[in-house]
Structure formats: C-alpha cells, structure tokens
Chains A and B, each alone.
Chain A
Amino acid sequence: MLQARNLSVAIGGKVVCRDLDMAILPGQCWGVLGQNGAGKTTLLRTLAGLHPPQAGAVIWSGQPLQTIARRDLARHLGVLPQSEGGEFWGSVLEYVLLGRFPHRASLFGYSAGDERIAWQALAQMELAELAQRPLGTLSGGERQRAAIAQTLAQQVRYCLLDEPLQHLDLRHQIQVMQVLGKLKEEGGALLMVLHDILWAQRCCDRVLLQFADGRVLHGAAEELLTRENLEALYQCPLREIEVAGERCLVPGV
C-alpha cells in the first residue's frame, strides 16, 4: 500500500499540492488530472520518493519512503517518467533489460531469466521485431512503448506512470491500457497522469484532480468526473454528450 499522509509538495517555491491524505490500495487504478504546470509530475515524483515532500510523508507498507533503500523499493514500485532527451546508444532489447537492474543478482551482466522476461515485455508491447534496432532509430511512439516495456520488465506490483499514452496512436493506447489493466487485476495498483478525460472515465476507478492553486480533490471517478469539476479544473467550457448510454465530456467549443 502506498499512502500519502498530510502531504504537501512544492517545487521552485510554489506549493502544488496541500495536505493530501490518500491511500493507493491493491486493485485500484488512479488517474491524476490537472492543467499544464499544475504539478502533476512533481506530485508523482514525490509519491515515488524522487522528490522530497515539503511537509508530511509518503508511506510504503507502513514505512516512510525515505527509509527504504531505493533498489529494494524499485523491485516493488515502478515509475515511468516522461521521456527525456539525450542519447541512449544501445539496442531496444538492452534498453528494456535495464528494467531488470533492481532484480539483478550478479554485478556483471543479466541472467538468461532476465533476458526471457525482457523478451516477454517486448512481445507485450509488439516490439519483438525491433529488439535489435538501436533505440535512437525508433519513432516517438515506439520509444514510448519501449519505455513501457522496460517498466513491465521491472515486474513491479505498483506502478506510477507519467502520461503513459504520450505519442501513442489509438490502437497502442488501447493495448497499453489493457496490459496495465492486467497488472491491476493481478492485485497491483496504478497511478497515472492523464490528459484524456475519456481514458480516465474508462480505466480509472479513483481520480485525483490537482488544481492550479495547490488544492487537491480525490475520490471515486464517477463522482468526481463531473462537468462542473472539470470545467473548474481546466478553466474551459465543456459539453456533456451521451453516446450509447455512455456519458462523455467533450470540449465545449
């Protein structure tokens, strides 16, 4: 269980989240929504223990996150950051294998078991055919799938994902959501930063709305994903439409 207790998060002197109390339980899928610059990434990094909280604490299985060795934590808690610049010279397979780093027994190289797990992750993301290609030659969407495959190879129960759907076409968005959904069904938990209300409605049972002033609302998705809440969140008019009995929110322009 990943818990935030009385958590306040600040970056560059700006408070982006105030007095947050929440618990991510096994079997849950959380969606984090908010404007650009609202601090979603910083909140996610804080929950992962990669950014120090301003106040309060993040608790993992009853222990404060800071007291847990990062490598031990990385065997249970995965993080998918937004793609960063810079060069990686290795192949797609080598990149995905890095996900086995926290599990690796020997100081030197990866075991056959690690390689098998990496190949499975590649197959899940339909990347097996690109496995030997240099990562740098892949398209943006393929790179994103490689990054997700790396996180899958990490074989974690809890996963925090920063915009897992960025650069992905529709079919691969569905594929990624299905693969991640399986993680949830197997007793894991997810928290993902999303920009697509539709995906939040479809896949998340809990949502966290992060407002520009540091206020945070969280709770059951169907209760919070209302037109009023989201208009206040995104500061733009929305329209509610109903398609085949499903309620959808679309831009009101």
Chain B
Amino acid sequence: MSPRFFFFLLLCAAALSLGFGLVSGSLPLAPGEVWSALFGRGDSAAVEVLWQLRLPRVLAAFCCGGLLALSGVLLQALLRNPLADPYILGISGGASAGALSAMLLGAGLAAVQLASFAGALLAIVAVFGLGFRHGERNIYRLLLTGVVLSAGCGALVSLLLALAQGEQVKGMLFWLMGDLSHPEGLPFAWIVLLVFGLCATLYSGGLDVLAGGQGKAAALGLAVGRWQVALYFAAAALTVAALQLGGAIGFVGLMMPHAVRLLGISAHRWLIPLSVLLGGSFLVLADTLARTLWSPLQLPVGVFTALLGVPFLLWLLGKR
C-alpha cells in the first residue's frame, strides 16, 4: 500500500478521533448537537462545554501528540538510534525537576509552567554545552550526556516527591504522567507544530541522508555539523512546547515514528506527516479515554498512551 493511502487513512483517523473527543464527556452530546454547537447554535450549555472545555482539550491533545511524534522523528534521525525519544536528552527531566520544585514551594499554575520551562532550557543548554560543543561532533557523547543528565533529574524528582506531602504528591504525579487539562498557550503550540513540521518536511531529503550515516552524509555534500545543531534545537523546541502543553507524556514520541516505519515507510517526506497525524490522533484517543472511562475521576493520560500503545506495537512487531 502506498504512503498516499496511509496519509488519507490517517487524515480520516484524525477526524474521527477529534470527533470522538468532542462527543464524549460527562455531558453526552450527539454528533448532531456537536455540529450545531460548533456554529454557536443549539443548547447554550452545549456551546459552553464545547467551546470552553472540549475543543481546547482535543486540540491540545492533538497538537501535543504531533509535537512529541515530530520531536521523536528528528531525534531518531539525529542520533540514529531506535531508542531515541523526546525525553532521552534530559529535557523532560529538567522540566520535571523545575515544575516539581515550584509545586513543592506551593507556586501557582503560571509559576509551575515558568519553572518547568526554565528547567527544560537549563537542560538543553547543559547537554549542548557538555556533549556537543567540540569541532568533531560525537553523537554518542551527546546521547550519553543526555542520559546522565536524565538520571540526575530523575533522582531529583524522586527527592522532591519524597519531600512533598499529601495533595501535592498527586499534582506532581499528574505532571509527571502527563495532564492535558490546562492547555495554556495553545495557539503558540500549534504554530510551533506547523512551522517545524513544514520545515522538517521541506528538508526531508537532508534528513534521509543524515539517517544514512554521518560520514556518508558529509561525503554527499550535507553540512552535517550545522544540520546536527539545527536538529538538536528543533527537537528541543518541540519537546518544550509539548511539555508546556501536557507535561511529560510518555510513549508517543518514541513509538509513533516506529509504528509508521512498521508500515514500511521510512522516507522522511512521508514519515514526518504520517507520524504527526498518528501521534495527534493517538493522543486525542488516549486523552478522551483517560477523562471519560472513570468519569468524573480523571486519570493521567500517560497511563493510557502506554496501555493502548504497548499492545498495539507488540502486535505490529509480531506481524513483521
């Protein structure tokens, strides 16, 4: 089956998942009601719920899933490693440590966001400075630096969890597992996704060459050093945008590119749009289940990304 076929299939999947997200919730809405509410007609409560709660939430979930998947694609091309995901270089570790510190101090939502942003930036600069500054860039050094920093941040997170008490712990766990209930800065995140997604697709030929090996890429006329720096910062920006939107949601960034590759597609001009569509649809589905399955209780979405994704991927792996 051609990549084009999968592209249209995933476009439909995206539309379906968004629709599913819009109709489900504690106030059940029929598809017809959703449709009229979208244009501001019908029941005012329905319009309110749809425009204030559900639409921002599904759009945030889709965007977040797309950001994570794109970041995963770029990092896997940069590191040429199947285990690379948006969190492997310690960016989420830094963000988590920052966010949890702010929570421990009893800061409000805005301060927590700011602290997580600062923590992520610190991690990005530290990994780049320690692992990537030399003329002869060594990808393994970058990877190891990131993994070491992640481990350090993990310890710090455990310490903060141990120091926290009662209600605080739950908020922290939600942040760590991912939570899409406060989609702040949604338009900005969409702009990041669209701009980076478009640029990455336009430069997909270079990504293919880079994925074929550094030495060969240089021989084929690619400015490898510049590409690596650009990819690192692009992936970092995407990860930060995703973290700001939904916290550290696992599994999506690692697995969506692999799922698309298991369909037999590895050329980046298709891998990028397909991964973004798949990641977005998948996260909308996971988030909708997370908020409706035990309603009114909301569960962390990260639990569902793994619970849904792991069996699916094991099945795909077994089929190949």
Contact = CB atoms under 8 A, between A and B. Distances in A.
A94 B221 contact: no
Interface in A67-88: 69-75, 78-82, 84, 86-88
Given A86-B80, A101-B205, 9 more contacts: A70-B223, A74-B219, A79-B218, A89-B211, A94-B266, A98-B212, A107-B202, A108-B202, A147-B216
Contact of A90 (B214, B215, B266): B266
Interface in B247-269: 261, 266-267, 269
Given A94-B266, A94-B267, A108-B204, A88 B219 contact: no
B213 A90 contact: no
A215 B131 CA distance: 35
B14 interface: no
Contact of A94 (B208, B214, B216): B208
A134 to B, nearest CB: 8
Nearest to A79: B219
Contacts of A73: 221
A150 B216 contact: yes
B214 A50 contact: no
A140 interface: no
A90 B202 contact: no
A73 B202 CA distance: 23
B222 interface: yes
Interface string B207-246: 0110111111011111100000000000000000000000
A91 B267 CA distance: 9
Nearest to A41: B215
A99 interface: yes
Contact of B221 (A84, A86, A95, A101): A101
A33 interface: no
Instruction: Report the 7 A-B pairs with minimum CB-CB distance, sorted nearest first.
Output: A74-B221, A86-B80, A79-B219, A71-B221, A81-B215, A89-B266, A90-B266
Nearest to A102: B221
B152 interface: no
Contacts of B36: none
A107 B202 CA distance: 7
Most chain-B CB neighbours within 10 Å: which of A48, A98, A99, A102? A98
A154 interface: yes
25 contacts: A48-B219, A50-B219, A70-B222, A71-B221, A71-B222, A74-B220, A75-B221, A79-B215, A79-B218, A84-B213, A86-B80, A86-B213, A87-B81, A88-B211, A90-B267, A94-B266, A94-B267, A98-B208, A101-B220, A102-B220, A102-B221, A104-B205, A109-B269, A150-B212, A150-B216
B129 interface: no
A127 to B, nearest CB: 16
B69 to A, nearest CB: 15
Contacts of A91: 266
Interface residues of B, number: 25
B82 interface: yes
Contacts of A69: 221
Contacts of A102: 220-221
Contacts of A95: 212
A107 B268 CA distance: 12
B291 to A, nearest CB: 35
A81 to B, nearest CB: 4
Interface in A17-36: none
A98 B80 contact: no
Contacts of A94: 208, 266-267
Nearest to A89: B266
B190 to A, nearest CB: 24
B215 A84 contact: yes
A252 to B, nearest CB: 35
Interface string B126-154: 00000000000000000000000000000
Interface in B76-130: 80-82
Contacts of A86: 80-81, 213
A99 B203 CA distance: 16
Interface in A85-132: 86-91, 94-95, 98-99, 101-102, 104, 107-109
Interface in B190-205: 202-205
A89 B202 CA distance: 20
A71 B81 CA distance: 26
Contacts of B216: 81, 84, 98, 147, 150
B198 to A, nearest CB: 12
A150 B217 CA distance: 12
B226 to A, nearest CB: 11
A98 B269 contact: no
Given A81-B215, A99-B220, A154-B220, A108 B269 contact: yes
Contacts of B223: 70
A88 B209 CA distance: 10
A84 B214 contact: yes
A68 to B, nearest CB: 10
Given A81-B215, A84-B213, A104-B205, A98 B266 contact: no
A88 B213 contact: yes
Contacts of B80: 86-88
Contacts of B208: 90, 94, 98, 101
